[in-house]
Chains A and B, each alone.
Chain A
């Protein structure tokens, strides 16, 4: 590292070599050990100390700002409930609705696919059925 490079880096990053970019530190440490390097760092270190002076923020001021934030949040209206059709599109609602729809589709499909059988309703068939039942109930071995 040349003296010019060292000075340029010190003018950019300040008097603490450990805060310089990692790639430059090793060479900078070696140069900083020289009297010339130390003088450059000392000069930049004075500027660093001035730049590190921060505005004083007392606790009461920070607390006041925090309180005002909470008051502003309290004044913001609560988020509107989503519209009914949006609520219907949520998963907990969709699962039973989808099950019902599937059941209906299967029912319609079965109704179409199965042969339609008329139950016998003429008087002779009804009478025959009734006697068959009584025959089973009283006369059979069952």
Chain B
């Protein structure tokens, strides 16, 4: 990061290669739209480049700082958005050697996406950081700029809502 602060593009390229998938993954989990997630990932790294001098490794890890940028951009966008993307478009079946495993994984992902649609952005963010990215409660709270207690409450509500949604989808075949 010190080299990125000194505006060295080579270091910035290495940083993006290492962390861009992380930014895209978290953004996509929250906005549920790959194209929009790509925009957010790109904008996040533009901010990393322009604000690199303000990053202090004594205060937070780079990943925590990046997550915070991605979440802020994501929440800004979803606040402005007036519609939710449709979730139910089916994927083309994979005919490769791991087709069955892939189908199960796709079904799980589809179930998760549909259940996640009923959550608020902040709840999706909490789940993405804690479960998908594997951050500790403290790290995730820090990335979301919340107290540990507030994050615990948010995560608990998110899990409860998601569990209820999954059950509803499994019982009725759709989430309404």
Chain A residues within 8 Å of B, Cβ to Cβ: 8, 11-14, 19, 21, 47-48, 50-55, 57, 59, 61-66, 68-70, 72-73
List 28 interface pairs A-B (beta carbons < 8 Å), by A numbering: A11-B156, A11-B160, A12-B155, A12-B156, A12-B159, A19-B136, A21-B137, A47-B166, A50-B108, A51-B127, A54-B25, A54-B29, A55-B24, A55-B25, A55-B28, A55-B34, A57-B25, A62-B17, A62-B24, A64-B38, A65-B16, A65-B38, A66-B16, A66-B20, A66-B45, A69-B16, A69-B45, A72-B46
Known interface pairs A70-B13, A73-B49; A53-B108 also in contact (CB < 8 Å): yes
The residue in chain A whose Cβ has the minimal distance to the Cβ of B37 is A55
CB distance A68 to B152 under 8 Å? no
CB distance B112 to A53 under 8 Å? yes
Chain A proximity mask over B121-144: 1 for CB below 8 Å, otherwise 0: 000000100011010110000000
Residues in B whose Cβ lies below 8 Å from that of A50: 108, 111-112, 166
Residues of B1-38 contacting chain A, CB below 8 A: 9, 13, 16-17, 20-21, 24-25, 28-29, 34, 37-38
Residues in A whose Cβ lies below 8 Å from that of B20: 62-63, 65-66
State how many angstroms separate the Cβ of A24 from the closest Cβ of chain B.
11
B168, CB-defined interface residue at 8 Å: no
Residues of B132-172 contacting chain A, CB below 8 A: 132, 134, 136-137, 148, 152, 155-156, 159-160, 162-163, 166
What is the CA–CA distance of A70 and B42 in the complex, to the nearest angstrom?
9
What is the CA–CA distance of A11 and B164 in the complex, to the nearest angstrom?
12
What is the CA–CA distance of A50 and B45 in the complex, to the nearest angstrom?
29
CB distance B162 to A51 under 8 Å? yes
CB distance A62 to B108 under 8 Å? no
What is the CA–CA distance of A64 and B21 in the complex, to the nearest angstrom?
11
What is the CA–CA distance of A72 and B43 in the complex, to the nearest angstrom?
10
Residues in B whose Cβ lies below 8 Å from that of A73: 9, 46, 49
State how many angstroms separate the Cβ of B107 from the closest Cβ of chain A.
10
CB distance B21 to A62 under 8 Å? yes
The residue in chain A whose Cβ has the minimal distance to the Cβ of B113 is A55
Residues in B whose Cβ lies below 8 Å from that of A47: 159, 162-163, 166
CB distance A12 to B46 under 8 Å? no
Residues in A whose Cβ lies below 8 Å from that of B127: 51
Residues in B whose Cβ lies below 8 Å from that of A21: 137, 148, 152
CB distance A61 to B45 under 8 Å? no
Which of A14, A55, A62 has a CB less than 8 Å from the CB of B131? Answer: A14
What is the CA–CA distance of A52 and B127 in the complex, to the nearest angstrom?
9
What is the CA–CA distance of A98 and B116 in the complex, to the nearest angstrom?
66
Known interface pairs A47-B159, A47-B162, A54-B132; A65-B25 also in contact (CB < 8 Å): no
What is the CA–CA distance of A46 and B156 in the complex, to the nearest angstrom?
16
What is the CA–CA distance of A48 and B29 in the complex, to the nearest angstrom?
15
